[in-house]
Structure 1
Amino acid sequence: MGDFTRFKYVRRALGAGLISGVVGVAGLAMPSPAAAANPVTPGNFTGYGFDQCQAPSQTAMDRWWQHSNFGAVGIYIAGNSRGCRTQTNLSATWVRKQQARGWRLLPITLGPQASCNPHFPRYRDDPRISANSTNQYATAKRQGVNQANATVDAAKRYGIAAGSTMFYDLEGFDIGNQRCRESAMWFVSAWSHRIKKLGYRPGMYSSASSGIKAMYDVWHAQPRGFVYPADLWIADWDGRAGTSTKYIPAKPWSPHRRVKQYRGPHKETHGGTTIEIDSNYVDLGRGSYARPVTHCGGVPVSFTAYPALRPRTSSYTPSPIYTKALECMLRERGSFGGPIDGTYDAGLVRSINAWQRSHGLTVRKTWTMGAWKTLWAANSRPLLKRGSAGETVRDLQRALSATSAPERPKITGVLDWNTQVALVAYQKRLGRTANGMATEVTWYDLAHGR
């Protein structure tokens, strides 16, 4: 996982027996939470992520933020079995800058591995998980506690806030080996218990057909005293960006409690910078979420379409609902001071004409679909990508709905799959780079009613 000296995952779906025993973890005094000004990571997010052995440089991260649809990045913060023990770029400053930029971080620990994994130990000082079953795998549990302590120490050094998810990387192994499997599961249980005690959220990464399948079997059996990771990171290179896998049902660890690594090692280039990565789909926290926002005391402004409006005639009456939305948004944009009553009158027309003149539109009494686009693009114009959420995303969705094209996103405030499809279609129609991201060019086009 994100390791350029990788080994092949064990892909055999072997039956796993029940794991017995109760967890026996030594209780230690809980330290004070990590003193970090950074937000909890990854927080509420549904979108694309990548992981790699070495944390990328600041230049690389900046370019990928501007030119890729990735919003999350996996970073190795602890563990003596990491392929890249020396992290050239990773520091508290690096973490702070990425989070300030908007990146969601997925901290990873790769420490002791399953006793039957033939690819470990990697070095001379990285022990494997003990398969000694004495006292219900007490040695493996102690290893889990020690590794959790090391993980949290590293998280604090890097300024990763308490409450953030820490993922343990348990590489693929033969789950048909009972003692190997059981010791690995109790190691993760003790690690998860300790991570929780230290104020963080435990997660586990593993191959879908080995560690993930084994963990599901434990969940299904519900052994007394077992502590489960709160989130799963599933390695299943099926090429499908989502969180489902054929190896476990959809019910456990849902909703919003999974990451799936759906594509293995490959190179991608964004903004002229190439990185070898694994591709992931992330759905954690409560997923990407936009808080409700009201306008003008509760005037509806989000619709599936935005028709042209014009003054009333003997055969046409402008919709009061859309007219009120127009009055409301012109007021919020500082261009209308009249009553919000749904009447398309002379006062509204004067405000419309003023808006048209200031935005380079043809001055006339009709409010066109193109004019609707300029209205929604007149607010802030941040870079938006898959997983972005908030009122600016709603403005983007409203602008994309002000068109005769069939691709119209539902106005949710989250840049989801449907929004991305509509945005790509819009970009293609204009001959732009169809990357599904709302860039400066996208906002410029919308602001000019295109």
Structure 2
Amino acid sequence: MQPRPAPSPLAARFTTPLARLTTAAIAAVLALALLAQVRVADETERPAPLRADLMAAEPNPVTPGNFTGYGFDQCLAPTQKAMDAWLHHSPFLSVGIYISGNSRACRSQPNLTPTWIRTQLQKGWRLLPITLGPQASCSDRFPRYDDDPTINPRPGAEGLYGKARRQARREAVKAVDAAQRLGITKGSTLWYDLEAFDHTNRHCRESALSFLSAWTTGIHKLGYKSGVYGSVGSSVLILDDARVKRPGTYVMPDMLWLARWDGVANTSSSYIREDGWRPGARVKQYQGGHDETWGGVTINIDRNYLDVGRGSVADPEDHCNGTNINPKKYGVLSPGTEATVQVKALQCLLKERGRYDGKLSGVYNDATVASVRQWQSDRGFPVSDRFSVHDWIALHMDNANTVMKVGSAGPAVRRLQRALRAAGVWSQPISGVYDPATASAVRAYQKRVGLKETGIANGKTNVKLDHGRR
């Protein structure tokens, strides 16, 4: 990762004066402070208590969680306006952010606040929080400043590189402190960025391995997962070699972020073995720094491809005690239509929306017609005894306003796929996972209704579907 400095004012500190807290909130703060007193090895540092307003709110989701798709990283956390533009128009749904480390180019992060973190997570972004602290002693680009020491290369009396390990434990505490202040939930992955260095230099290499091992141990003790970013020709290479040739000598990170600018959007590289950190524990930075413009906003980024956790998956669904709401076709229904899967699916969907309280008979009877007419009236559609393809599309979208793209997963994607099936552009299973095939179907729909063919189900596309356009 090549951090690109950008001048900006000092980031504000995030504190809440005790005078503004309730008695209960103060008690909660004190209780959490006691729980947070984690001693890491022989270090006395510990993460600061969380902000009271963050404790009061529902915790943010663990990040990056389960995801397969595209991401970007950039030195300076973008503004909210830029993030929104890129959410609606770019292929990315993951973003790397620098949260700590004295060696990072963007020490000042004026946009990076607890509100920024919470907002991105709520909008569906997956975050990769990065620490860029002490770098390898033989790196030709560090130290960058006067107060960013490199990893201590001295092996010590026992040859265990104790000073490097202590440096790492301190960095782990600092990273967790920064993560907690920002509202990044325990269980999330915190990444250490170890830039390229000469891995043939023995003490430089061994001290770096010791540092990364202690970093992972420290991160684990504080309740987070450990990730390491690095060049496939140095830090990634030495970790993979140590994993295979010296098993048990070092604690391995949970995830690897490979820097290999080969232009291939996958998580593989010929530099490391395929069996390590699989499945679901790899990220690959496949393109280095360059400008991209989406939604009228230009950012200088690196491109990434992620395959983490279980990948993009949708939990099983159940409708009306096992009713099939995914027939192969959503056709026109008229009074008198009997015993069809489509009618039963319609009755179930109307029941879930509080529009139908009859039996799921599969018969398009008077009660079903009355419910249909009421639903059409409420949506501002022409009222009719018939339920048309136009109605099916709108019923499935159900006023959805979620931005969906490759990597998205869940109930909203299932509704989208059903709407696309009703529109005649989707014939594959209703998986709930927005994969390249779903993006292709969205492009086909966008072309049909006169929209720009992006493959992203954003505002304009969702409005067309919600209005039943076909």
Is this a same-fold pair by TM over 0.5? yes
AA aligned opposite 1:67: H
Counterparts of 2:182 and 2:374 in 1: how far apart (Å)? 52
What is residue 4 of structure 1 aligned with on the other side? 4
Q: 1:179 to 1:408 in 2, by over 3 A?
A: farther
Q: Secondary structure at the match of 2:166?
A: helix
Q: Report the equivalent of 1:422.
A: 441
- Of 221, 226, 230, 1:197 maps to 221
Counterpart of 1:12? Answer: none
The CA deviation string for residues 189-239 of structure 1, in whole angstroms up to 9 with x for no partner, is: 111111111221110001123221221111112433411111111112222
8 Å CA contact 1:34, 1:162 repeated in 2: no
- 1:147-186 aligned within 5 A: 147-186=171-210
Q: How does 1:342-421 map to 2 (within 5 A)?
A: 342-353=362-373, 355=375, 367-405=387-425, 407-421=426-440
- Give 3-state SS (helix, strand or coil) of 2:464's partner: helix
Q: Against the structure 1 CA distance between its residues 355 and 44, is the aligned structure 2 distance closer, same or farther, given a 3 Å change threshold?
A: same
Q: Tell me how far apart the structure 2 counterparts of residues 90 and 393 of structure 1 sit (CA, whole Å).
A: 29
1 CA distance for matches of 2:272 and 2:327? Answer: 39
Q: What is the aligned counterpart of 2:153 among 120, 128, 131? A: 131
| 1:33–1:162 CA distance, 2 compared to 1 (3 A) | farther
Residue in 2 that maps onto 1:20? none
Using the aligned pairs only, state the percent identity.
49
Q: Distance in 2 between matches of 1:447 and 1:433?
A: 17
What is the CA–CA distance in structure 2 between the aligned matches of 1:34 and 1:400, rounded to whole Å?
48
**Using the alignment, how far apart are the partners of 1:162 and 1:364 within structure 2?**
53
Give the equivalent residue in structure 2 for 1:434: 453
- Residue pairs, 1:259-278, within 5 angstroms: 259-278=283-302
Task: Tell me the residue number matched to 2:320.
Answer: 296
Of 143, 154, 160, which aligns to 1:121? 143
**How far apart in 1 are the matches of 2:114 and 2:386?**
55
Q: What residue number does 1:42 align with?
A: 64
Write the distance in 1 (CA, Å) between the matches of 2:238 and 2:193: 14
Give CA deviations for 1:51-87 in whole Å, capped at 9, x if unaligned.
1111122332233233333222211111121112222
CA contact (8 A) 2:47 2:174 kept: no
Of the structure 1 ranges 362-371 and 416-425, higher mean CA displacement relative to structure 2 is found in: 362-371
How far, CA to CA, are the matches of 2:299 and 2:148 in structure 1?
27
Q: Are 1:444 and 2:463 matched, yes or no?
A: yes
Deviations 1:416-443 (A, max 9, x none): 2222222122112222122222223222
| Higher RCO by CA contacts (8 Å cutoff, separation 6 or greater) | 1
Q: What is the identity, as a one-letter code, of the residue corresponding to 1:295?
A: H
**Is 1:47–1:282's contact at 8 Å kept on the other side of the alignment?**
yes
Question: In the alignment, residue 84 of structure 1 is paired with which amino acid?
Answer: C
Which secondary structure does the structure 2 equivalent of 1:402 belong to?
helix
Cα offset for 1:150? 2.1
Give the conservation status (yes or no) of the 8 Å contact 1:259–1:282.
yes
Q: Deviations over 1:161-201 (max 9, x none)?
A: 22221100011223333332222112101111111112211
The DSSP-based 3-state class of the residue aligned with 1:209 is coil
Q: Structure 1 residues 354-363 or 48-57, which shifts more?
A: 354-363
| Cα drift, residue 302 of structure 1 | 2.5
Q: Say if 1:276 and 1:335 are closer, same or farther in 2 by CA, change over 3 A.
A: same
Question: 3-state DSSP class of the match of 2:93?
Answer: strand
Is 1:90 matched up with 2:112?
Answer: yes
- Shift, 1:265, TM fit: 0.8
* Residues 58 and 362 of structure 1, relative CA distance in 2, 3 Å threshold: closer
- Aligned partner of 1:62 in structure 2 is 84
Gaps of 5+ in 1: 7-24
Q: Secondary structure at the match of 2:392?
A: helix
Deviates more, 1:348-357 or 1:211-220: 348-357
Q: Measure the CA separation in 2 of the matches of 1:33 and 1:409.
A: 50
**Contact 2:85–2:297 under 8 Å retained in 1:** yes
**3-state SS of paired residue (1:445):** helix
Which residue in the other structure is 1:109 paired with? 131
Task: Give 1:309 shift.
Answer: 4.4
Extract unaligned runs of 5+ from structure 2.
7-39
